[in-house]
């Protein structure tokens, strides 16, 4: 019996760390989609989260003088995670839409981007629904793009949904998709990678539809957390006034056309 007991104790000790690490004071939990979304949120080789949104989060928390904790959540379940209080803030490039506002609340916009369609390199830049008839378009699940594509291209084209933006891009490179629709910023970054340069090109920005595509990206919040909302809004204003947004963007040369809150 001796050796089983020793094993059991070693295992229990190792495993205790798992719970201990989770038993700390109460910082604000920022929920970031676990699926990589470069250049806004992705994990680098050492396991730390990096990207424009992560830099902004750090600046924001410093401005609010709050202790923040980054929590990885599945993008597909990020709203339920917020409402069930596993996280306090959705900080994951979520567009502010009326549909989502029925369930959750948003802070002010902290960045905005056009929406674009990319496809294989062939010089054919037409993205009218008639032209895309019979083609396959990839989008990330639970995004505004999924709804947009359903509405405008759903009748004639096949829509495939992916759990991560990376996987949609990957399938475009592999030739299993004809087009991908997503935020222009994220797609630009992909087109500047080695793989993106080899396979694909930007076709065009899609015609705007703010009811579906929303009015920029904001922090998702529970409806009852109005104090936190005001705090975040004030911090966004202060950061804009201090020119912090431009400072952060300067580190991401691929984000040429990002729209950030203006100082006023």
Partner 1 sequence: MNWDWLPQYAPLLLHGIWLTIVLLVISCSFGMAFAIPIGLVQVTGPLPLAWLAKGFCTAIRGTPLLVQIWLLYYGLGSLFPSIPWIRDSFMWPVLREGFFYGVLALTISFAAYEGEIMRGGFMSVPKGELEAARAFGMSPFTILRRIWFPRAFRLVLPTLGGEVIGQLKATPLVATITIMEVFGVGSKIRQDTYHVYEPLLLVALIYVCLTFVITRIFLWIERQVPQKR
Partner 2 sequence: MPTKAGSLELLSQWGGNLLVGALSTIQISLWAYAFGLCLGLLGAVGKLNGGRVARGILDGYTTIVRSVPELVLIVILYYAGTDTLNRVLAHFGFDAVRISGFMAAVFVLAFVQGAYSTEVLRGAIQAIPIGQIEAARAFGMAPVLRFRRIILPAMLPYAIPGLANLWLNVTKDSALVAVVGYSELALATRQAAGGTKAYFLFYVVAAGIYLTISIVSLFFFGRLERRFRRGQHKAR
Query: Among all chains, which residue has been given the structure tokens 């990002």?
Result: 258
DSSP string, 102-135: TT-EEEEEEEB--EEEEEESSS-----TTTTTT-
Does 155 bind partner 1 (CB under 8 A)? Our answer is no
- Based on CB atoms, which residue is closest to partner 1, 52 or 162? 162
Does 60 bind partner 2 (CB under 8 A)? Our answer is no
C-alpha 75/C-alpha 185 separation (Å) is: 18
How many helices (H) and strands (E) would you count in the chain? 11, 12
Give the nearest distance from C-beta 185 to partner 2 in angstroms: 17
Does 12 bind partner 1 (CB under 8 A)? Our answer is no
Does 253 bind partner 1 (CB under 8 A)? Our answer is no
Q: Which stretch binds partner 1 (CB under 8 A): 6-14, 56-64, 126-134, 174-182?
A: 174-182
Does 106 bind partner 1 (CB under 8 A)? Our answer is no
From residue 199 to residue 218, the character string flagging contacts with partner 1 as x (rule: CB under 8 A) and all else as - is: x-------------------
- Based on CB atoms, which residue is closest to partner 2, 49 or 259? 49
Q: Which stretch binds partner 1 (CB under 8 A): 158-166, 209-217, 227-235, 255-263?
A: 158-166
Does 25 bind partner 2 (CB under 8 A)? Our answer is no
Instruction: Name which position in 9, 11, 241, 257 contacts partner 2 (CB under 8 A).
Output: 11
Could you tell me which of 141, 28, 139, 22 has the C-alpha nearest to residue 74?
141
What is the greatest pairwise CA distance in the chain?
74
Ramachandran class of 211: left when φ > 0, alpha when ψ lies in -120 to 50, beta otherwise: alpha
C-alpha 78/C-alpha 197 separation (Å) is: 32
Q: Which stretch binds partner 1 (CB under 8 A): 46-54, 154-162, 221-229, 231-239?
A: 154-162
Burial class (CB in 10 A: 0-12, 13-18, 19+), 252: middle
Query: Among all chains, which residue has been given the structure tokens 């040429």?
Result: 256
Does 162 bind partner 1 (CB under 8 A)? Our answer is yes
Q: How many CB atoms lie within 10 A of CB 194?
A: 7
Instruction: Name which position in 2, 5, 18, 264 contacts partner 2 (CB under 8 A).
Output: 18
C-alpha 149/C-alpha 153 separation (Å) is: 5
Contacts (CB under 8 A) with partner 2, residues 149-168: 163-164, 166-167
Give the residues lining the site for partner 2 (CB under 8 A).
4, 11, 14-15, 17-19, 22, 26, 29, 33-36, 38, 42-47, 71-78, 80-81, 83-86, 163-164, 166-167, 170, 193, 195
């Amino acid at each position: 019996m001796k050796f089983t007991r020793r094993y059991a104790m070693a295992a229990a000790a190792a495993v205790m760390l798992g719970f201990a690490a989770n038993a700390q004071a109460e910082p604000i939990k920022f929920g970031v989609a676990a699926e990589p979304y470069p250049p806004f949120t992705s994990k680098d080789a050492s396991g730390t989260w990096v990207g424009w949104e992560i830099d902004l989060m750090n600046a924001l928390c410093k401005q609010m003088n709050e202790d923040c904790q980054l929590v990885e959540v599945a993008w597909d379940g990020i709203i339920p995670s917020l409402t069930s209080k596993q996280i306090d803030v959705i900080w994951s490039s979520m567009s502010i839409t009326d549909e989502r506002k029925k369930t959750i609340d948003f802070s002010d916009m902290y960045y905005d981007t056009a929406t674009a369609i990319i496809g294989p390199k062939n010089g054919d830049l037409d993205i009218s629904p008639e032209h895309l008839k019979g083609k396959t378009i990839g989008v990330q699940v639970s995004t505004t793009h999924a709804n947009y594509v359903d509405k405008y291209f759903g009748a004639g084209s096949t829509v495939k949904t992916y759990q991560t933006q990376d996987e949609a891009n990957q399938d475009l490179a592999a030739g299993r998709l004809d087009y991908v629709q997503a935020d222009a910023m994220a797609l630009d970054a992909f087109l500047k990678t080695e793989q993106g340069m080899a396979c694909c090109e930007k076709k065009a920005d899609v015609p705007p539809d703010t009811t579906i595509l929303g009015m920029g990206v904001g922090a998702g919040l529970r409806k009852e957390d109005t104090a936190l909302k005001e705090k975040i809004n004030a911090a966004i204003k202060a950061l804009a006034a201090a020119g912090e947004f431009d400072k952060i963007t300067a580190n991401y040369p691929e984000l040429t056309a990002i729209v950030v809150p203006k100082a006023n």
